[in-house]
Chain A
Amino acid sequence: MRIEDHPILGKTERRKRITLKVDGEAVSAFEGENIAAALIASGRRVFRYTAKRGEPRGVFCALGRCTDCVMIVNGQPNVRTCVTPARNGMVIQTQVGRRGGEDTHDLEME
């Protein structure tokens, strides 16, 4: 959910629209906003599943410190989505365990 009009901050400035590919689905975003913001705006809340228990995790600190929101971005795992700017065409996957995608065998889960 985006905040289009705000009593203090006013209207959101117009920015360039881009498209991300998230787990195979097209997600609209603004160029340069962080990936986490774009995913939250699209209603996504689960960013990864933990290695041992497979528990869901999402945005917790939104500052780049806690690493709860890491995902696989353009093939690279453990990218902190809350401090990584979105670029057009980025391929983003929900991360399972410490490095794997949903269909990837995760060595560290054994």
Chain B
Amino acid sequence: MGKTEIYVVGGGSAGMAAAIEAARAGAKVTVIDENERPGGQLFKQIHKFFGSGVHRAGTRGVQIGRALLKEAEEAGVKTRLNTVVYGIYPGKRLGLICEDHTEELASPIIILATGASENALAFTGWTLPGVMGAGATQTLININRVLPGRRALMVGAGNVGLIVTYQLLQAGADVAAIVEGLPYIGGYGVHASKVRRAGVPILTSHTVLRAEGNESVERAVIALMDEKWQPVAGTEEVLEVDTICLAVGLSPLAELAWMAGCRFSYLPALGGWVPVHDENMESSLQGIYVAGDLAGIEEASTAMEEGRLAGLSAAEALGYLSLEVAEARKIEVRERLAALRIGSFGDGRAIAKRELLRARCKK
């Protein structure tokens, strides 16, 4: 096989897509992932994806995950699993923690696709067992096939909150309500309707005041909020729940990009501090690419397209693709990306992404 030319850090949607594109072009690619199997969060996405046919709309995330792993294998992508990248050093050197030893290696090109982590929300009692991330809940029910509780409160009516609520119902749990701090529902109407049809109320301008319970969650107290986001006295309501799921956004997992010295921009529409990148997904550092949620919180579909861009660009940089071939392929991908960033949900992200590109151009 020869020596690896591209190390991809993170084997989720973006990382696997990047690896597949680069390997198909002829590059020697290795994906490093801390988990037992690659696929990132795709295997817990049991709902059908949106978009058009080319984005595999109507397909469930778990099926896309299986397809990606198969394509990666066919393309000759190597994987190093159960391996944590703990650091990144000058000269594009990666520090690795493997199961029984540590290791350092140099990589001609690095693609960072480290994903995101869930935001927390601090309220009285939020550390009680039974309060957990909505993504954590999704992992427990759809991957581990265990229910964290019998009756839950969902905090946040974005797509994650809506989808995980529905998946809790599918798994046999009850959801008392969804509370959303904003005066409107952030997620897609189709998800919100589905949850409402199932009898779960969505309470906008509401928040969770506290979690109560002896050793774990036994109740949640919610309340209406005024325009200044202050709870309105007298509107407290006690919900008998044993689980509180937090779906209050994601933040890019950017530690490695910071450590590498990549330049960042603060863009709330993309989840906070995001490494700036150009149209090829190259960061401010030559030979270090970023893709997926690390490069701005979006969706699995956009993450895969960004991964493809990074993979094609990396293969081109190594000389595996001519300028003409690479550019033609990249234009296709960019068109699909643009199509995923339209409408009331995509516009904000599209604008923020353009700001990120502009920030990259400033030296």
- A and B physically associate: yes
List residues of chain B with CB within 8 A of the CB of A24.
none
B140 touches A9 (CB 8 A): no
Within 8 Å by CB of B133, from A36, A55, A62, A64, lies A62
Q: How close is B170's CB to chain A, nearest CB, in angstroms?
A: 5
| Bound-complex Cα distance A60 to B60 (A) | 25
A9 touches B133 (CB 8 A): no
Which residues from 8 to 56 on chain A have a C-beta closer than 8 Å to any C-beta of chain B?
8-9, 12, 33-34, 36-37, 40-41, 45-47, 55-56
Determine if B118 is an interface residue (Cβ-Cβ < 8 Å).
yes
Q: How close is A41's CB to chain B, nearest CB, in angstroms?
A: 4
A61 touches B130 (CB 8 A): no
| Bound-complex Cα distance A34 to B130 (A) | 18
Determine if B46 is an interface residue (Cβ-Cβ < 8 Å).
yes
List residues of chain B with CB within 8 A of the CB of A64.
34-35
| Bound-complex Cα distance A37 to B143 (A) | 10
List residues of chain B with CB within 8 A of the CB of A47.
129
Within 8 Å by CB of B146, from A3, A7, A63, A83, lies A3
Within 8 Å by CB of A57, from B36, B118, B129, B133, lies B129
Q: How close is B12's CB to chain A, nearest CB, in angstroms?
A: 12
Q: Given A55-B127, A62-B140, is A7 in contact with B170 using a C-beta cutoff of 8 Å?
A: yes
Within 8 Å by CB of B147, from A1, A56, A61, A68, lies A1
A8 touches B36 (CB 8 A): no
Which residues from 123 to 152 on chain B have a C-beta closer than 8 Å to any C-beta of chain A?
127-133, 135-137, 139-142, 144-148, 150
Known: A56-B128, A60-B131, A63-B135. 6 other contacts (CB 8 A): A7-B170, A37-B145, A40-B148, A56-B129, A62-B135, A65-B117
List residues of chain A with CB within 8 A of the CB of B150.
1
B215 touches A34 (CB 8 A): no
List residues of chain A with CB within 8 A of the CB of B142.
9
B146 touches A37 (CB 8 A): yes
| Bound-complex Cα distance A40 to B145 (A) | 10
Listed A/B pairs (17) with beta-carbon separation below 8 Å: A2-B146, A3-B146, A3-B171, A3-B172, A6-B145, A7-B170, A40-B147, A46-B129, A46-B215, A55-B127, A59-B140, A60-B132, A60-B136, A62-B144, A63-B136, A83-B35, A85-B36
List residues of chain B with CB within 8 A of the CB of A97.
none
Determine if A58 is an interface residue (Cβ-Cβ < 8 Å).
yes
Chain B contact residue count (CB 8 A cutoff): 32
Interface SS of chain A: loop
Which residues from 47 to 99 on chain B have a C-beta closer than 8 Å to any C-beta of chain A?
60
Q: How close is B227's CB to chain A, nearest CB, in angstroms?
A: 32
| Bound-complex Cα distance A65 to B129 (A) | 16
| Bound-complex Cα distance A35 to B223 (A) | 36
| Bound-complex Cα distance A62 to B144 (A) | 10
Q: Given A12-B145, A41-B146, is A61 in contact with B172 using a C-beta cutoff of 8 Å?
A: no
List residues of chain B with CB within 8 A of the CB of A55.
127
Residue of B nearest to A41 (CB): B146
Q: How close is B1's CB to chain A, nearest CB, in angstroms?
A: 29
Residue of A nearest to B46 (CB): A8
Q: How close is A64's CB to chain B, nearest CB, in angstroms?
A: 7
B145 touches A59 (CB 8 A): no
Q: How close is B61's CB to chain A, nearest CB, in angstroms?
A: 11
Among B34, B128, B136, B172, the most chain A Cβ lie within 10 Å of the Cβ of B136
Within 8 Å by CB of A56, from B137, B141, B146, B216, lies B216
Residue of B nearest to A65 (CB): B117
Residue of B nearest to A64 (CB): B34
A33 touches B144 (CB 8 A): yes
**B220-253 toward A: CB 8 Å interface, digit per residue (1/0)?**
0000000000000000000000000000000000
Within 8 Å by CB of B130, from A2, A8, A58, lies A58
List residues of chain A with CB within 8 A of the CB of B132.
58-62
| Bound-complex Cα distance A89 to B120 (A) | 35
